[in-house]
Structure 1
Amino acid sequence: MFERADTGVAPRIWEVGALCRAIADALEARFNPVAVRGEITGFSRASSGHCYFTLKDGNGQIRCAMFRRAAGVLDFTPRDGELVEVRGRLGVYEARGDLQLIVDSLQRAGQGALFEQFMRLKAQLEAEGLFDAARKRALPAMPRGIGVVTSPGAAALHDVVTALRRRVPHIPVVLVPALVQGAQAPASIAEALSKMYLLAQAGRALDGDLTLNAGASPAIDVILLVRGGGSIEDLWAFNDERVARAIVQSPVPLVSGVGHETDFTIADFCADLRAPTPTAAAELVAQPRAVWLGALDLLAQRLADGVQRQLDLRHQRLDQAAQRLGRPSGFVGRQQLRLSGLEQRLRHGLLLKTQRLTHAGQALQSHFPQIVQRSLVQRRERLERAALRLQLLDPRLVLQRGYALLTDAQGQPVTRPAQVRLGDAVHAQLAEGELDLTVSQRRLL
């Protein structure tokens, strides 16, 4: 048993759990609710959704627990080293006897005043039409050059360049450096954007610009304004009115990739497109080269298939025409048969005329012998001359003298060298048989 030296009254002996509950009750009555400002360290989120971390400053630290219901309404992801303000209740975690702050709400330090400024500027610029969807432009599918505005030493630049070199190593990338944090950052960003706009308009490099890929004076078809994540204070330069008005002056589509996915700035609303991260911004403007090569292969195959279909169709039509036309020799043969038929009809007609004249002559001779005899002689002479002329017109007689009947591929008679060209196929009909020939020489008279 313990005794107090000053009074000699023995102190109360507590059960550990009871003492912890008594301390918790005293804290509840004395301090709660409590608001604390400090820097996060050791932040973790359990599978249950509860969050655990420590708040500290230069003089002390306190363990904190934020249960799932409160953590579920956070509009950002807390990170180690971030200065925050929390509201909650002090208590004692009896299982370990630790002093613990149960957090009901958490926000970045100073966020309230900055958020009010943000909302005022957002409302003003929105009323002026700077955020209108009608002024947003589509990104070029195949940019000839990509401009980047950021800090040369920023991790965001490394992420962007890595993504672009991986996806589109053939596209030149031009950096115009700018400060992305601090009091001088808004003016620096606006000036860098102006330089980039001149480059995009004139297609020529400016003094002090750094070309990261090969190729001098590339044509800039899209601009990336990027910065890595940070607190609201770190990103505040992108909530500046000067930067907003500079963004909407861009002559080419501009992509804003500032902070992390949960971060929103005025620059995001003014840009033609917002990307959740700098890497995502690079990927949005850089369709992988393999995709375009695959598309070209597909188009080439479609073109080849189309050409083949047209060739097949033309061949089919040619075959059908050839079937209707037939061989030139067949055409000549049909004409010869027709000529033979006409010759036979003519001979038969002459024979009938001769017989009739003979009968008529015999009848007349019995009445006018001399006159009939003289008339018969005249008519016989005329008939013999007609038969001779008919025989001379027989094409077979001409062919028997060594001549040939030439026809072209369409079956038309060839009478002049000008009707054919070198290499043309011609058909020769002889007195006995046929020949297929090719023109190797022409002599024009």
Structure 2
Amino acid sequence: MPENKKHIFTVAELNRHAKDVLEDQFAEISVMGEISGIARPSSGHLYFTLKDDSASIRCAMFRQQNMRLNFNPENGNEIVVVGQISIYAARGDYQMIVKSMEPHGEGALMQQFEKLKNNLKEEGLFDTEYKKIIPKYPKHIGIITSESTAALQDVISAFERRAPNSQLTTIPAIVQGDLAPKSLINAIKNAERFNFKNSHNQIDLLIICRGGGSIEDLWCFNNEDLARKIYDLKIPIISGVGHEIDFTIVDFVSDIRAPTPTAAAEMASESYFKIHNLLEENLRSIKLQLSKFIQNYSSYIANLSKRIVSPKTIIRDRKQSLDNIEIRISSLISKQLMQENNRLDLVINNLKRSSVQSKLLKTKSELSSISQDIARLITDKIKNNNLHLNSLRQALNIVSPYSILERGYAIVSNKKNEIVKNANSVKESDVLSVKLSKGEIEVIVKNE
């Protein structure tokens, strides 16, 4: 094994060694730069990035030193800090531990921003007379932003809520970093090329947007070339960059500035939203009026229903009316019959008193005498007929076969009820029926 084997560091050893070297070499130095990405956690410490045009370094100022500051540092402030260069060993992050801080005029980025803004303003790029009119009812909206940003979802959600029928087209672009300005310009050019190729479905409104961030995060929207491209753009454009307190050059050169991406979508959909609300209000009013109309007519129909008599009731009443008429007619007929009967009785009484009555009595007496004579003749005739019938009955009895049976004779018949008159008409084993004067017996022939 070689004796000069080199020492192998662990990561922790390496970071600690580097930390010791840096802290020893840069124990107390002064650095000038611009504050960016400042953060103030509840611990009271202060964390920020100190940067210039070409480099940056992370800084930490702990609570004890922070409490001695005589001003409130903000993003964009140019400052001079005194501290020690170190490494946060747990992550290997290179940083400066700040011991003191003093302001050093306005931030360089803010100075650049103000300078560009004033130059473009003097050229008239921000003049109201050059602003294009935002369409009241845009049909096709192009959204220039990063596809991964939350701002895109905020814009889409706002349109879905307020103008769900709008046609949205996302035009992807980088919205942070050195490549962002060129990417944003290319996105605008893509929108123009789309309109050139699709005359029947052109984008009639653009929204350029991204969420909030530090001045460095939003710096790509302060690009002069991007501003001039937006100024020359024929399509109306709304800017919705950052939060309400954030302002960029794009905000000033755009046709209208919205404080947030969501607000940009709300501006673009405002007319649709008002119509939607108006339609909903009218719909509610129509529903209310229709409900009242139905309610009133329901009451009216209910009242009419109470007045309308059921056909069953009408038939029942008619039947009852007919019954009453029948009763009255029956009463009148009975009364009339009674009167006619009384009149008839009167006539009969009068007839009894007349000569016709005596003739009727005489005729009645003669009829009674004739009836007695007829009855006597009928009685005599019946007696004579009975005597004749008795003599005929006695003569018949004398010649009747049954009267012969009374004298001991019998009548023999076969199974066919034929009377046997000759012994040769039967054979052995025939069953014969013998009729006596009283009763009947069956016999079997044994010898022929």
State the TM-score, normalized to the length of structure 1: 0.44
Which one has a bigger Cα radius of gyration? 2
State the TM-score, normalized to the length of structure 2: 0.44
Select the structure that is richer in helix: 2
